[in-house]
Chains A and B, each alone.
Chain A
Amino acid sequence: MYPENFRYTKEHEWVRVDGGTGVVGLTNHAQEQLGDIVYVDLPKVGTQLEQGKSLGSVESVKAVSDIYSPVSGEVVEVNDTLATAPEKLNSDPHGEAWLVKIKLSAPGEIQQLLSAGDYQKYVGAEGGAH
């Protein structure tokens, strides 16, 4: 379910490091919790992001949720297809529906993020609490 080569946040974002760039997305758990996603607000190319700070927002039919950046750096590419097809976040959150690519300014930050196994445990526990 959760790719081994991704790292995860407790706020349900993932990042896949590819050289000096991090590809960022929302987890499958996040899209399941949100339900039908109808709108995504993403930053522009060139925006400086800080780890743990708001990257943008995602809206389901019912509600708005913040997206937090899992890593610091500059936005070098934005997935524009989500502007017209936000529902891809429901169908392929770990693939086609990546959000942004970030040029990492502090690659060491990755070490603070959860592994696939730890994230799986974390959402399992979160799910069980309800």
Chain B
Amino acid sequence: MTQAAAPVLKTTALNAAHHRCNAKMVDFGGWDMPVQYSGILEEHHTVRRAVGLFDVSHMGEIEIRGRDAFALVDSVTTNAVAKLKVGQAQYSGLLYEHGGFVDDILVHKVSDDHYFLCVNASNQEKDFEHICAQNKTGAEVEFASPRYAQLAIQGPTALPTLQKLTSTDLTPIAYYHFTDGAVSGTPARIARTGYTGEDGFEIYIAPEQAARIWNEILEAGQEFGIKPCGLGARNTLRLEAKMALYGHEIHASITPYEADLAWIVKLDKGDFTGRAALSKQKSEGVKRKLVGFEMVGRGIGRDGYEVFQDGAAAGWVTSGGPGPTVNKNIGLCYLPVERAKPGERIQVMIRNQAVDAITVPTPFYKRAK
């Protein structure tokens, strides 16, 4: 008799460290990743109040270099790459011709002829092929994921934690800016970005150094109460901050206008993949739109649940769950655009029961500056 082989999960350079920390591991899009260490709620609150450390090395990196690097990046993304200064990062969309998302990405301008893209783990191969297929001018496109581990240090005391390990002065690095420096003696790209709604940094380092740096950050942050945090807290944190998650709020059948991401679309910057479709949709108007909701009745509206308005099916929940900081059961859903304003009464179908909810302004949580 033959036995079906167990699926082989991809691992980050920190896999052994997670197992040593007693992390609860899950299959996350083909990656063996920590969903929690001490508990999702505790990790969530630690990031809001102190500092948390995340292994996000499953994220992908694509580097684009050469004289034509700008032209290629600008032609495949929705945001205005020309607006970027060296050392600045930008949230952007990678779209199909029909206007749906291939991925949502971060574009970092390293120099005039060098751009560094951070992309979603499960989309990285697809993104790379998508970009290569449109590379008509001969820019150098590198699938750079194997060269990087990525750690996120997030929370109000992320800065003093990381500052102990680097001679780069972190204070002047503005939000969505980065600098190339060193962390604990190893070259690091240090970006003031994150996916939690808190201040913090994401650093890109060589995978061989990741386990050592992970431990050193945990030691450096001890005085601030640092904790290792998993993907579970990452999800509750980003949901409260209303940051999109690929496969949920956005995917191949959703455009930036529908996803309430008009701010990353610069139609007047010149042509880019998906521009014609977006331009048409903008003039005709979108039919559905992403909106936040809070549960009014008892229950939690979760990903994929149907949403009803006036007794008829109207949309679906893209992400939903408890918001530990706002202390409410919250979520995001698509609704017909004319009914997607805050203050609309809706019902979420929770296990065959219609439970009352109400649409609300987002983000659910915004940190005090």
Contacts and interface: CB of A to CB of B under 8 A. Distances in A.
Interface of A: 35-36, 38-39, 41, 57, 59-62, 64, 83
Interface of A (DSSP majority class): strand
B232 to A, nearest CB: 6
B232 A62 contact: yes
A64 B320 CA distance: 12
Contacts of A35: 24, 35-36, 39-40, 232
A39 B302 CA distance: 13
B322 interface: yes
B35 A62 contact: yes
B324 to A, nearest CB: 8
Contacts of A39: 298-300, 322, 329
B211 interface: no
B236 to A, nearest CB: 6
B298 A83 contact: yes
B41 A36 contact: yes
Contact of B236 (A41, A57, A61, A64): A61
Contacts of A61: 40-41, 232, 236, 321-322, 324
Given A60-B40, A62-B35, 6 more contacts: A35-B40, A39-B322, A39-B329, A57-B351, A61-B236, A64-B302
Contacts of B39: 35-36
Interface in B226-242: 232, 235-236
A36 B35 CA distance: 12
Contacts of A59: 300
Contacts of A38: 41, 300, 322
6 contacts: A39-B322, A39-B329, A61-B232, A61-B324, A62-B321, A83-B298
A7 B34 CA distance: 33
For A41, A61, A64, A83, the residue with the greatest tally of chain B CB atoms inside 10 Å of its CB is: A61
A43 B40 CA distance: 27
Contacts of B35: 35, 62
Contacts of B36: 35
A62 B299 contact: no
B14 to A, nearest CB: 20
Given A35-B39, A62-B35, A41 B299 contact: yes
Contacts of A41: 298-299, 351
Interface string B291-305: 000000011101000
Contacts of A62: 35, 40, 232, 235, 321
A30 to B, nearest CB: 14
Contacts of B324: 61
Contacts of A83: 298
Interface in B10-63: 24, 35-36, 39-42
Q: What are the nearest 5 A-B pairs in CB distance?
A: A61-B40, A36-B41, A38-B322, A36-B39, A36-B40
